[in-house]
Amino acid sequence: MLETRDLHKSYQAGEARVDALRGITLKILAGEIVAITGPSGCGKSTLLHLLGALDTPTSGQVYLEGHPLHSLNDDKLTALRRLKIGFVFQFFHLLPTLTVEENVLLPLLLSGRVNPLARARAHDLLTSVQLADRSHHRPHQLSGGQLQRAAIARALIHQPSILLADEPTGNLDSASSNAVIELITRLARKEKTTVLLVTHSQSVAATADRQIQLVDGRIQS
Ligand SMILES: Nc1ncnc2c1ncn2[C@@H]1O[C@H](COP(=O)(O)OP(=O)(O)O)[C@@H](O)[C@H]1O
Ligand SMILES: [Mg+2]
């Protein structure tokens, strides 16, 4: 469902060029839960951005369900992202002025797809992440673990084919981390969503079906 071929990404920072990805070739099967590990600065977030159509490669190919992300324009990438991809980040990225429920519905609001069915799905997801009683609260009234659970509901509201999570437990204590990982795994299996999970934690990585270890912009194992 996701494939890259000899993917390279370089950043130009003033005079210096940073080669963040140096030839990544991988295949992810539908329904797999894959952990991406590796030291800080090895290119994990860069890879996730390319796989999630948030950025384009310097060279190489990325195919998401057969769509060539490397050769689509910004409008097409945005459309594909809104339809097929869910994101979870380390710092939650919920909008402070919206309620929890509005935050969860946001991906659908952006593409004008909020209807009674969507509201019912938001309610179901909020129940799954144990936040049904917090629907009308604002983000500042929630704990870190609750914020991340709300972010997971938001990432899944549009039934994406792939969920990309960049260190989703990086800002949580170990109890909340376990709950968040358990939730991502359980919901992904239930919804048959493919998951790519960037993590520093070996115990988190061990819960995945498969691990891809990056070192210095390349796959080490
Ligand atoms: N926008 C950017 N401009 C310049 N360099 C960048 C940019 N984003 C990332 N980098 C560099 O690319 C390398 C990989 O970064 P990143 O993908 O964020 O690594 P990781 O997520 O594994 O910590 C690092 O050396 C980082 O400093
Ligand atoms: Mg990173």
* Residues 115-174 pLDDT 10s: 999 999 999 999 999 999 999 999 999 999 999 999 999 999 999 999 999 999 998 898
Band (pLDDT 50/70/90 cuts) for residue 34 is very high
Query: Which ligand has an atom closest to residue 213 CA?
Result: 1
pLDDT tens sequence across 39-97: 999 999 999 999 999 999 999 999 999 999 999 999 999 999 999 999 999 888 999 99
Secondary structure element (H or E) that encloses residue 124, with its range = helix 116-128
pLDDT for 110 equals 82
18 lines ligand 1 (CB under 6 A): yes
Residues 6+ apart with CB under 8 A from 132: 123, 126
37 lines ligand 1 (CB under 6 A): no
Q: What is the pairing mode between strands 2-13 and 59-64?
A: antiparallel
Amino acid (1-letter code) at residue 215: V
> What would the mean pLDDT of 11-35 be, rounded to a whole number?
96
Is the full-model pTM beyond 0.75? yes
Q: What is the CATH number of domain 32-54+83-219?
A: 3.40.50.300
20 lines ligand 1 (CB under 6 A): yes
CA-CA distance, 4 to 196, in Å (whole number)? 14
pLDDT for 100 equals 97
Q: Any idea where the domains of the chain sit in the sequence? A: 32-54+83-219
Among residues 64, 114, 66, 104, which one has the least CA distance to residue 84? 64
